Amino acid sequence: MYSTVMSTSERLIESTRELLWERGYVGTSPKAILERAGAGQGSMYHHFKGKPDLALAAIRRTAEELLATAEAALDTPGTPYDRIAAYLRRERDVLRGCPVGRLTMDPDVMASPELRAPVDETLARIRARIAGIVELGQEQGEFAASLDPAEIASAVVATVQGGYVLARASGSPDAFDAGVRGLLTLLAPRN
């Protein structure tokens, strides 16, 4: 399934990432990981201490990718409002959901402080980044001084994560898009 150029440890991480998204932690067996990676039976334990260690590497990689994607959208040119809009409107596979947000629904991941940490840290970093953009917008007079930047940042992330849930429940990206439009209407500068 994977290129032979990719190292065995990389194939194991990528396979685990996919399986965690598809099946959750409990449903991601070492056997399934090895089969998907096209790796031999002992290779997981050669590269990782076991399933928890491999899952942590996979979750970290997923979290790093989500953070990089979010930062790229938030770094777009334009006003603070434009940058938040770019983050909210960036292309996503809405019906598939968020690979990091989905981990919050996995009781085994949430029960493990080690596995939960990269999820929490990533969402916290995105919220902090958005809060900084809101603060900039306040300094520039684009957003009202009465807004709490941390609360607005939480509302932005909650709109994205909740939008995934609504879209998946309805089987249509329309609910996600409606949530984004609604939040952007509320945030629109009043000039």
The answer to whether residue 71 is domain-embedded is yes
Residue 156 structural domain: 59-187
Written as one string, the DSSP assignment of the chain is ---TTS-HHHHHHHHHHHHHHHHTTTT--HHHHHHHHT--TTHHHHHSSSHHHHHHHHHHHHHHHHHHHHHHHHTSSS-HHHHHHHHHHS---TTT--HHHHHTT-HHHHH-HHHHHHHHHHHHHHHHHHHHHHHHHHHTTSS-TTS-HHHHHHHHHHHHHHHHHHHHHHTSTHHHHHHHHHHHHHHS---
Question: Is 105 inside any structural domain?
Answer: yes
In a domain, 35, yes or no: no
Q: What is the pLDDT along the chain (191 residues), one digit of tens a residue?
A: 555 568 899 999 999 999 998 898 999 999 999 999 999 888 888 889 889 999 999 999 999 999 999 999 999 999 999 999 999 999 999 999 999 998 999 999 999 999 999 999 999 999 999 999 999 999 999 999 999 999 999 999 999 999 999 999 999 999 999 999 999 999 998 76
Total domains in the chain come to 1
168 in a structural domain = yes
The domain that contains 104 carries what CATH number?
Answer: 1.10.357.10
84 within domain boundaries: yes
Q: Does residue 146 lie in a domain region?
A: yes
